[in-house]
Amino acid sequence: MKIVIKNGWVIEPSSGFSGKSDIGIENGVISSVGVNLDGDVSIDAEGMVVTPGFVDIHVHFREPGFESKETIASGARASAHGGVTSVVTMPNTMPPIDNAGMVELVVRRAQDLDGIHIYPAACATKGREGKELTEMADLLQSGAVAVTDDGNDIESSAVLRHVLEYAGMVGIPYLAHCEDEALSEGGAMNEGIASALLGIPGIPREAEETRIERNIRLAKLANAPIHIQHVTTKRGVEIIRQAKREGIFVTAETCPHYWMLTDSQIENYNSNMKMNPPLREKEDIQAIIEGLQDGTIDCIATDHAPHTRTEKNVPFQEAPFGIVGLETLLGCVIKGLVNPGYLSIEKAIQLLTKNPANIIKINAGTLGIGVPADITIFNLEEEWVVTEDYFFSKSSNSPFIGTKLCGKVKCTLCCGKVLYADKDILLPEGLSISPTFLCDRFLI
C-alpha cells in the first residue's frame, strides 16, 4: 500500500528544502517526494508542517527498575505524542545497562513494541561507579549507540581519560554529564539571589562549568570526541565555543526548560521546577539562545525524566531531580525560539532531527528517498495550554502545566506506521494507529 502525505509544508534539513510538497511512502520507507503524488491512501496535511520525526538523544525510560515512573512502552507512546520517532535511552536504570545482555534486553523490548526507534546508551563504567570501564566493543555490537554514566560525572580524571580513549577507539560516542558533585552536594536549585530568597541550598554554576572545561580537556588529551549533555550556563556555552574554535571534536545539547524558565520563576516550592543541572538566570538563557544560533550547541534534547506524583509531592529539597519533556518539546521550541525570531523554523527542525542523528550516527532526521518513513506532522500556529491529563507518559512532572505553548503535533509516523494522530487528522480507510500505540493514558 502506498501512502501519500499531501499538501504539507515540507521541511527537509538534509537538502535544505522548505516548501509545499507531497511525500510518498511504500513498505515503510520514503519512496518519493514531489508535487501531485498519487497513492492508495492519503493523509491531508494542508496547512501543516511535515518534517522528519524528531530525534531525542537524552531520555530516561526507567525500565528496568522504576516502572512506576515510566516503561519503555509508555515512554515510546509519549515520544510519538511529542513527534519524536528516535530516542536514546539513558542507562541509569536498576540494574544499570552496563553489559551486553542488558543492552539486548532494551533492544528486544523495543522490537516487541514495534514502534519508535529506541537506541540504548550503555554505561561507560561498570555499575556507573566511575571505576572500571565497560566492554564498549560488546555494548556497541549489542546495539548501544553511546556510552554515558549520565546522572553522574566520572569523578576520576584518569578513569575518564581511559573511557574517552577506549570509546574513541571503539567508535562509540561518549555523552558527558558535567558536574562536580562535591561542589553541588546538598544543593537543590541554582545558587543565586532566588535560592537565597527561597532559603533553598544552591548549586553553583561552577559545579557544571569546571567539569565542562575538564571533560573537554580530557577529550583533547584522549584525542577522542565528547558530547556535552544539558548545557545550562553562559560560561558553559563560551567554553564549548572556544573548544570548537580550537578544533576539539566536541558537540553539545541543551533542553527546552533551560531557555523557557529561570530560577526566579520557581514559585510555591514547585518541585516540578527541580532538575539537574538546575534552572539558571536570564543572561544564561540569552547565551543558550546564542549558542543554538551560532552552532555552538548542536542539538536539542529533552532529558525526559519522569517521576511519580508521590515522589515529587514532597518538600522541594527532598524531591528527586528531573522533569518530563517529550510531549512539550515542540511547543517550547516554537514558543521560545521560533516565534520570538531567534531561530527560523528550518534551523529549529535541524536541531531536532539531522543534528542529533549525526551525533549518534543513526540513519534518521532526513526525508531522503529510501530512508525509514519517520515523519512528524504539526500545526505551527496552534496555541494550547498544557494540562496534567495531556501526558501519555506515566508521569506528568512538568513545569509547563498551566502554560500556553505554541505548535502542536498532529500525527507521527515511524517506518510508515501511524503511531499518533490527533482529532484534526482524518486517517483514511485502511490506515489506523498501530495497536501497541493506541493510547488512553489511563490504560497504560
Select which of 153, 263, 303, 374 is catalytic: 303
Question: 128 Cβ partners below 8 Å, 6+ apart?
Answer: 91, 92, 96, 98, 149, 151, 152
Q: Is 303 a catalytic residue?
A: yes
Burial of 283 (0-12, 13-18, 19+ CB in 10 A): exposed
Picking from 437, 410, 420, the residue whose alpha carbon sits closest to that of residue 8 is 410
User: Residue with CB nearest Zn ion?
Assistant: 177
User: x/- contact string, 115-154, with Zn ion (CB under 5 A)?
Assistant: -----------------------------------x----
3 state SS of 255? coil
Residue (121 or 373) nearer to Zn ion, CB: 121
Beta bridge partners of 125: 133
Q: Binding to Zn ion by residue 63, rule CB under 5 A?
A: no
Count H helices and E strands in the chain, helices first: 14, 18
User: x/- contact string, 189-228, with Zn ion (CB under 5 A)?
Assistant: ----------------------------------------
Residue (177 or 312) nearer to Zn ion, CB: 177
Residue (21 or 210) nearer to Zn ion, CB: 210
Go through 212-242 and write b for each residue having 16 or more CB atoms within 10 A of its CB, e for each that does not: bbbbbbbbbebebbbbbbbbbbbbbbbbbbe
User: x/- contact string, 79-108, with Zn ion (CB under 5 A)?
Assistant: ------------------------------
Q: Of the listed pieces 112-120, 157-165, 172-180, 336-344, which binds Zn ion according to CB under 5 A? A: 172-180
Contact 104, 139 (CB under 8 A): no
For residue 115, the minimal CB distance to Zn ion (Å) is 25
Restricting to residues 149-168, which ones interact with Zn ion according to CB under 5 A?
Answer: 150
Restricting to residues 232-271, which ones interact with Zn ion according to CB under 5 A?
Answer: none
Dihedral Cα 210, 273, 228, 102, nearest 10 deg: 120
Q: Of the listed pieces 127-135, 177-185, 199-207, 322-330, which binds Zn ion according to CB under 5 A? A: 177-185
Residue (177 or 241) nearer to Zn ion, CB: 177
Residue (177 or 274) nearer to Zn ion, CB: 177
For residue 419, the minimal CB distance to Zn ion (Å) is 27
Contact 259, 343 (CB under 8 A): no
Strands 175-176, 189-190: pairing kind: unpaired
Q: Binding to Zn ion by residue 177, rule CB under 5 A?
A: yes
Question: 50 Cβ partners below 8 Å, 6+ apart?
Answer: 5, 8, 9, 10, 11, 21, 23, 375, 376, 377
Task: List the catalytic residues.
Answer: 303
Q: Which residues bind Zn ion (CB under 5 A)?
A: 150, 177
